[in-house]
Amino acid sequence: MSAFTPLLPVAEKAVELAAGLVREGRPGVLTAKGERDMATEVDFAVERAVRDYLRQETPAIGFLGEEEGTRGEGELTWVLDPIDGTVNFVHGLPLVAVSLGLVYRRRPVLGVVDLPLLGNRYTAVQGAGAHADGSPMRVSAPRRLADAVIAVGDYAVGADAAALNAERLAATAELAARAQRVRMLGTAAVDLAWVAQGRLDGLIMFSNNPWDTAAGIALVREAGGDVVDRGGAEHSMDSEVTVAGSGPVLDDLVALTGPRP
């Protein structure tokens, strides 16, 4: 048993609490986070509920949430995205996830991703494997990009969007010419969970917010894949690029990100 396994029931309980709030909630008042970016009342309510529960159950573990920042410091930190896919949620699209990861010395070691509007849950603990709704899951293993369905991360919004999106658009164009299909789901947590499950064969995302990726990285790695930074460098909470997959397809995706930093 992994040293982190005893914390999985705590994480699942926290995510179940969050998922219930998402299922029952409506977007309500929107809070602007920048040009074309937002948070809803439900985002804030979920984050506070999970933070308070984890503070009670694991007071020695720090907490980082997307909406309200950090509480506590130490080797272990819970990392939460209360609603990954807020724009989907606001528009009534069911691709929405609650993403809770546990990071040890800045490396994800446990992850729970719940899709409250679809009824699916994905879990992983370092050294104990990855599961989809309780059943073991493994990444896919296509040998060629031409046989692979690849997810791409959202395009940037805001003042620097044009400059940031130049690289994204170039990579998407290359994938459109070479991959079997390209998908943009609007939620990194779902992207990573579905790479881990083998529904998607890879992900390339020219960004890395820890609350978006911490849980999903644990899922992919425990399902037999890997997640790396630009040029194939080791991925960390400070990485600027997130590339997930396995085998030759992962190598092809890494090549689209340019040299190592």
**Per the annotation, does 201 bind a ligand?**
no
pLDDT of residue 126: 98
**Per the annotation, does 84 bind a ligand?**
yes
Residue pair 142/201 in contact by the 8 Å Cβ criterion:
yes
Torsion of CA 115, 84, 48, 71, to 10 degrees: 120
Percent pLDDT > 70 in the chain is 90
| Domains located in the chain, CATH noted | 5-136 (3.30.540.10), 145-255 (3.40.190.80)
Confidence check: pLDDT of 67 > 80: no
pLDDT of residue 70: 66
pLDDT of residue 103: 96
pLDDT of residue 26: 64
Rounded mean pLDDT of 226-240?
A: 93
Query: Which has the closest alpha carbon to 171: 260, 259, 261, 253?
Result: 253
63: phi then psi, degrees, rounded to nearest 5: -145, 130
pLDDT of residue 32: 41
Average pLDDT, the chain: 91
CA distance linking residue 130 with residue 187, whole number of Å:
20
* pLDDT digits 0-9 by tens, 196-215: 999 999 999 998 999 999 99
Rounded mean pLDDT of 231-250?
A: 94
* pLDDT digits 0-9 by tens, 12-29: 999 999 999 999 876 544
Q: Comparing 69 with 145, which gets the higher pLDDT?
A: 145
Strand 149-152, strand 181-183: pairing:
parallel
Q: What angle do helix axes 8-24 and 41-57 make, rounded to 10 degrees?
A: 160
Confidence check: pLDDT of 74 > 70: yes
Confidence check: pLDDT of 106 > 80: yes
pLDDT of residue 237: 87
**Per the annotation, does 66 bind a ligand?**
yes
Q: Indicate the pTM of the whole model.
A: 0.93
Percent pLDDT > 90 in the chain is 74
pLDDT of residue 33: 44
Confidence check: pLDDT of 253 > 90: yes
3-state secondary structure of 228: strand
CA distances from 241 to 20, 168, 225, 230, 247 (A): 32, 11, 16, 6, 18
Structure token pair of residue 150: 């690849």
Rounded mean pLDDT of 81-94?
A: 91
pLDDT of residue 213: 97
* pLDDT digits 0-9 by tens, 156-203: 887 788 888 999 999 999 999 999 999 999 999 999 999 999 999 999
Confidence check: pLDDT of 129 > 80: yes
